[in-house]
C-alpha cells in the first residue's frame, strides 16, 4: 500500500516561532488532508489539499503532487497549536485515508 512519512516526529517550539512540517508519500494520490489532533483526542480538519497552496490564518499548506510531498507551515505559533499533526492520503485505487505517524508539536510559553 501507499507509504506516508512525516517529519520531524517531534518538535518543541517557543511561542511565536515558525515551523514547517513535511509529509512524503510513495504514490499518486486523489486526496491529501492535514489534521490536528488536540490534547483531547479530537481530529480537526486543517486542509484538504491534493495539490496547490492554501492558507487559513496562521496556517498554510502546499502540496506538490508531482514530487509527492506536502508541507504544513505554522507561523507565530501559540500554545493552543500543541498536539499531533497528521498527514493522510488517499491512493488513486481506494477509499481509505492512509495516515502518517504524525508530528507531535509542543509549543511552550
Per CB under 8 A, 106 contacts other proteins: no
29 is written with which cell numbers?
Answer: 494520490
The residue behind cell 497549536 is 81
Site track 39-58 with other proteins (rule: CB under 8 A), x = hit: --xxx-x--x----------
Report the relative pairing of strands 10-14 and 29-37 from DSSP bridges: unpaired
The residue behind cell 483526542 is 41
Distance CA 97, CA 87 (A): 9
Q: Which stretch binds other proteins (CB under 8 A): 16-24, 57-65, 72-80, 97-105?
A: 97-105
Residues that bind other proteins (CB under 8 A): 1, 30-31, 33, 35, 41-43, 45, 48, 86, 88, 90, 95-97, 99-102
Amino acid at each position: 500500500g501507499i507509504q506516508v512519512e512525516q517529519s520531524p516526529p517531534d518538535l518543541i517550539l517557543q511561542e511565536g516561532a515558525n515551523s514547517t512540517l513535511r509529509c512524503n508519500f510513495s504514490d499518486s494520490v486523489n486526496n491529501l488532508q492535514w489534521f490536528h489532533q488536540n490534547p483531547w483526542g479530537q481530529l480537526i480538519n486543517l486542509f484538504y489539499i491534493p495539490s496547490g497552496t492554501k492558507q487559513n490564518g496562521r496556517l498554510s499548506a502546499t502540496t506538490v503532487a508531482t514530487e509527492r510531498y506536502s508541507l504544513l507551515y505554522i507561523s507565530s505559533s501559540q500554545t493552543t497549536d500543541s498536539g499531533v499533526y497528521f498527514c493522510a492520503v488517499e491512493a488513486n485505487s481506494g477509499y481509505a485515508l492512509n495516515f502518517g505517524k504524525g508530528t507531535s508539536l509542543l509549543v511552550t510559553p
